[in-house]
Each structure stands twice: as structure tokens, then as C-alpha cells.
Amino acid sequence: MTAITALTAQNSRGVFGVLQIEPSFVEQQMSVVLEDLGADVIKTGMLHDAAIVQAVARRIRSAEPRPKLVVDPVMVAKGGATLLKDAARDALVNELFPFADVVTPNAPEAAALTSIPVESVADLTKAGARILAMGARAAYMKGGHLPGDEVVDVIVRNDGPEIVLRGPRIETRSTHGTGCTLASALAASLAQGMDLEAAARRAREYVAKAIEGAPGLGSGHGPLDHGWPLKEARSG
């Protein structure tokens, strides 16, 4: 189930407008779903401003039992549009990170959140440790923005050793929503009872195949092929 935080006017070339939903209505959306269906995992995405962050955090804090929380700190769109206001950044760290089971920043987001320049895998790991110090239980640090033929992600956690995930870089323009998709697949896998490492590996594989099968729509950053598992099931 989804609670809408904002409506966007966008295409493959960028985000051209954002219409924010009233924070009280965001909280109401969450409440009616949680009271009826409950949730094993909540995943946050574009929260846009501090008032929405606070509304989401307030509802998560009051949930009984408290679901696991995956925080995708969506800050900048592929086309460069700002999706998180400056004041919301502090609210995200202060209000949501202490409840987060996993935070999933890419390299630019990690740098913005921690004030650590992220230009290497070692920097990713260092920034991940800083995010743990902010209260998160684990940080899935995405390395797709770093240079190289190989994409290296690092999971830093407070209850075990680092996990390093490697894979070949796929050269394509069809990368719209890769971070959102990874966080959603991670949350879905955690909700199905997987541990963090298994959930992360499954989410990463899902995204890689979704990129490989992308239909090539649009003249900018096109969408992924989210339906590839159904195609595999039908062909198998």
C-alpha cells in the first residue's frame, strides 16, 4: 500500500513540477492503512519537506508493533531537480534515521547527508559509518555514481561485518528510478522474512535485470522493466 507525499510533473528528461500533499493527509493515509492492514516494513521515498518528514516519523513512532523501516533519502532526481528541501535534510536525519533499519543513499546523497566527499568505495564505507552514528542500524551505500566498469555497493551495519556487493556496470540511459526500485525490492524482501544480506542480494539482482530489460522509452533517463520476473515465469 502507498501513502502519496507529492505529485510530480515529470518525464524521462526531468522533473518539471512538484505538488506537495498536506502533511496531515499523508499521516492520515498511513494511519488508515496501518489500522486496517498493518505493515511488516515501511519504505520511505521522496518526502520533500520537513513537515512531511515529521508527519511520517510521528506515525511510525506510534505504530504498534513498529514495522521495520527502510529510508531511501531521495534528494535529487536523475535530471537534477531538487526533491528534498534543505530543512528536510536535518529532519530526515533527526526524525527518521534513529528508527531506520536500513538507509539507502547513493554517493551524492551520502556526501550531502554526512559532509564526507564520496569519491571511492572507501569513502562510501566511511560515510556509511557516519550514518550509523546518526542512529540507523544499517546503511546500504550505493556505488553506481562512482567511476569504473564495476559497480560496488557496501552495506555497513552495527550488528555484523561489512557486506560488499559487486557487479558489472550496464551502459544504458534507462536508469530512471533505480534507487527507488532497489529500496522497494529490499523492503519487500525484508517483509518476506529475509535477512539483510539475502534481501540486499535479491534486490540488487532484481534491479540489474530490470535495467537489462529496459524498453528504451523516452529521450532521457527511461524507465526500467519492472515486469521481468513475470516474463521469465511465462517463458520458463
* Helices vs strands, H then E, count in the chain: 8, 8
177 is catalytic: yes
Catalytic annotation present for 43? no
Q: Considering 128, 143, 177, 222, which one is annotated as catalytic?
A: 177
How many C-beta atoms lie closer than 10 Å to residue 47's C-beta? 31
Contact criterion met (CB below 8 Å) for 211 and 172: yes
| C-alpha span between 207 and 210 (Å, rounded) | 5
Instruction: Give CA–CA dist 204/149, Å, rounded.
Output: 17
Half-sphere exposure of 196 (CA within 13 A, CB side): 24
Phi, psi of 101, deg, nearest 5: -80, -35
Cβ proximity of 220 and 228 under 8 Å: no
Q: Which of 128, 178, 181, 222 is catalytic?
A: 178
Catalytic residue among 14, 79, 135, 180: 180
- Is 5 known to be catalytic? no
Q: Known catalytic residue: 2?
A: no
Catalytic residue among 44, 128, 142, 222: 142
Given 44, 175, 181, 222, the catalytic residue: 175
Q: How far apart are CA 71 and CA 91, in angstroms?
A: 13
15: left (phi over 0), alpha (psi -120 to 50) or beta: beta
Give the residue numbers annotated as catalytic, written as ranges.
Answer: 142, 175, 177-180
